[in-house]
Amino acid sequence: KHRVLSGMQPSADSLHLGNYLGALVNWVRMQDEYDAIFFIPDLHAITVPQDPAELARRTRVTAAQYIAGGVDINKCTLFVQSQVPEHAQLAWVLGCITGFGEASRMIQFKDKSLQHGSDHASVGLFTYPILQAADILLYQPHGVPVGEDQRQHIELSRDLAQRFNSRYGETFQVPEAFIQKESAKIYDLQNPTAKMSKSAESPAGLINLLDDPKVTAKRIKSAVTDTETEIRFDREAKPGVSNLLSIYSSISGLSVDKIVADYQGKMYGHLKVDLAELVASHLGPIRDRANELLADPAELDRLLAHGADKAREIASATLTDVYAKVGFLPYG
C-alpha cells in the first residue's frame, strides 16, 4: 500500500466545514486504500501565541473530531505531533539546508506576518514550512492530501527531499501533493470569494462542526447571495449561491447539475432551508460522537499515545538514517 500523510492545526474550538469537506472527508475515504497517517500539528500551533490550557483542550477537541468524522484508529495511525520528538529534530537538519531567501518566499508567512505585524511574527512562524517538511519526510509518504493553500509548502518539502538526497545520498521519498479538487474548497458564507477560515473577521461566515445546529442553520439562512433569483452554479458571477451548491453537493453526494435541476424555478430561501436541514442532520451525529469522546479525556489521551508509539517506529528509523548520513556519531 502507498502511504499518505496529512494534518490539521488545533487552532480553534471546532473544525469548520472547509476543514471537514476539504480535508477530513477525503482522509476518511483514503484510509481504506492507503497506509494512512494523520496527526495534529500542535508544534505548528504555537507559531502564534496560544493559551496553554486552551491549546491542550483544542488538541483533544481536534482529535475527537477526526475520530467522530470517521478517522478509524484501527485502519490508520493518528497522533499528536509534540509526542513524536523526531519532528523537531528533523526540522533542525532541514533548516540547515534551506536558504534564507527560499524560506522568505513562503506566502503563508507573508500573509500572517502582515496580519500580525512583522515585528510580532515569531521566528517559529518563519520556519513553519520547514517543520511541515519534516512532518512529511519523516514518514516517506507517497502523497500528501491537502487543499490548494498548502501547495507551496508541499513544493518546499519536495525541494528539500531532493536536495538532501542529492547531497547525502538517497534518503527521502519525494512526496506528491494530492490537491483536492476545486469543488472541495469551501468559502466564507458572508464573504464567498474568501475561503472559509478560522481567522475570518466575523464568525457569521463559518460553519463549525461542534456548533449548536440552530446557530449553523441561522448562518446558512443569512448567507450572502446576490440580487438575482436564479439558482445556478457560476463561481465568478454568483459566488454565494455556488458555494451553497457545492456544500450541498459535497454533503449529499448529488452532482451540482442534479441539484440545480431540482431547484429550477425555486427561490434562494428554499435552497437555504433545505441545506440548513441537510447540514444539521449530517453534522449532528459527528458532534454527538465528538462530545462522547471528550467526556473521557483519559481514554482519548491513551488512544493518542498509542498512535504516537506507532508513528515513532517509522519516524525514528528515518531520523537515525538522516543523522548517520549527516555525520552525527551513532548513539548506543
Annotated binding site for ATP: 9-11, 18-19, 147-149, 186, 195-199
Binding piece for ligand TYM, criterion CB under 6 A, among 7-15, 60-68, 72-80, 97-105: 7-15
Cα–Cα distance, 258 to 255 (Å, whole number): 5
Choose, by CB under 6 A, the member of 135, 247, 250, 260 that binds ligand TYM.
Answer: 135
Residue 58 in 3-state DSSP? helix
Is 147 one of the binding residues for ligand TYM (CB under 6 A)? yes
Binding piece for ligand TYM, criterion CB under 6 A, among 59-67, 96-104, 195-203, 243-251: 195-203
Is 232 one of the binding residues for ligand TYM (CB under 6 A)? no
From residue 169, alpha-carbon distances to 48, 89, 136, 161, 325 in Å are: 36, 19, 18, 11, 8
Binding piece for ligand TYM, criterion CB under 6 A, among 59-67, 131-139, 207-215, 217-225: 131-139
Cα–Cα distance, 186 to 183 (Å, whole number): 8
Nearest CB to ligand TYM, comparing residues 18 and 307 = 18
Instruction: Report 10-49 residues binding ligand TYM (CB under 6 A).
Output: 18-19, 22-23, 41, 44
Residue 38 in 3-state DSSP? strand
Is 144 one of the binding residues for ligand TYM (CB under 6 A)? yes
Choose, by CB under 6 A, the member of 186, 220, 300, 314 that binds ligand TYM.
Answer: 186
140: left (phi over 0), alpha (psi -120 to 50) or beta: left
List the one residue out of 62, 69, 71, 60 whose CA is nearest residue 297.
Answer: 60
Cα–Cα distance, 49 to 140 (Å, whole number): 31
Nearest CB to ligand TYM, comparing residues 90 and 263 = 90
- Label residue 169 exposed, middle or buried (CB < 10 Å: 0-12, 13-18, 19+): exposed
Nearest CB to ligand TYM, comparing residues 129 and 263 = 129
Q: Kindly report the CA angle at 196 between 57 and 199, in degrees rounded to 5?
A: 55
Cα–Cα distance, 17 to 21 (Å, whole number): 6
Choose, by CB under 6 A, the member of 149, 155, 159, 226 that binds ligand TYM.
Answer: 149
Residue 301 in 3-state DSSP? helix
Is 196 one of the binding residues for ligand TYM (CB under 6 A)? yes
Binding piece for ligand TYM, criterion CB under 6 A, among 95-103, 148-156, 244-252, 296-304: 148-156
Beta bridge partners of 143: 4, 176
Catalytic residues: 112, 195, 198
Rg, C-alpha atoms of the chain = 21
CA quadruple 289, 294, 297, 301: dihedral, nearest 10 = 60
Given a contact cutoff of 8 angstroms between Cβ atoms, the answer to whether 35 and 3 are in contact is yes
Nearest CB to ligand TYM, comparing residues 186 and 259 = 186
Given a contact cutoff of 8 angstroms between Cβ atoms, the answer to whether 25 and 8 are in contact is no
Is 195 one of the binding residues for ligand TYM (CB under 6 A)? yes
Judged by CB under 6 A, the number of residues near ligand TYM is 26
Q: What is the closest distance, in whole angstroms, from the C-beta atom of residue 265 to ligand TYM in the complex?
A: 30
List the one residue out of 11, 66, 44 whose CA is nearest residue 303.
Answer: 66
Q: What is the closest distance, in whole angstroms, from the C-beta atom of residue 149 to ligand TYM in the complex?
A: 5
Instruction: Give the residue ranges of the annotated binding site.
Output: 9-11, 18-19, 135, 147-149, 186, 195-199
Is 315 one of the binding residues for ligand TYM (CB under 6 A)? no
Q: What is the closest distance, in whole angstroms, from the C-beta atom of residue 197 to ligand TYM in the complex?
A: 6
- Residues near ligand TYM, by CB under 6 A: 5-9, 18-19, 22-23, 41, 44, 132, 135-136, 144, 146-147, 149-150, 153, 184-186, 195-197
